[in-house]
Structure 1
Amino acid sequence: MFRLASMLYSIIASAMAGAGVIAVLSAGYVSLTPILAAAAAGAVLAVPVSYLVARKLTGS
């Protein structure tokens, strides 16, 4: 399941980080620090999400 979760992570992390960056930019923050923080938060939050998705897909 770790292999599936790591493959899903690459997709889910980029989607969540991109959504965070879009949210920050649409809120009017255009400096580097909020953009990097949103991208990092998306990447960190994608770890449990990818694990949960992999668990649902495998049925365990």
Structure 2
Amino acid sequence: MPALDFTLHTHDLVEISIDGVGTMRNPLTDDRTALDWPAEAIDRPLVRRAHRAYPHGEQP
């Protein structure tokens, strides 16, 4: 893997393009709470599964 000679900052736009597929664009954020879900999904998979099934809390 090559050494990286740049630094990313909040609000930078990261783009990944794949020919024949398309381009994904995501702005960088400093909101670390947006990254809480992977840890919760690992620590509490059943809670995460329920949230996906009923994202607004409504359950049958």
Instruction: Bin the TM-score by the shorter chain.
Output: under 0.3
Determine which structure has greater relative contact order: mean sequence separation of CA pairs < 8 Å that are 6+ residues apart, divided by chain length. Answer: 1
TM-score under structure 1 length normalisation: 0.25
Higher helix share: 1
TM-score under structure 2 length normalisation: 0.25
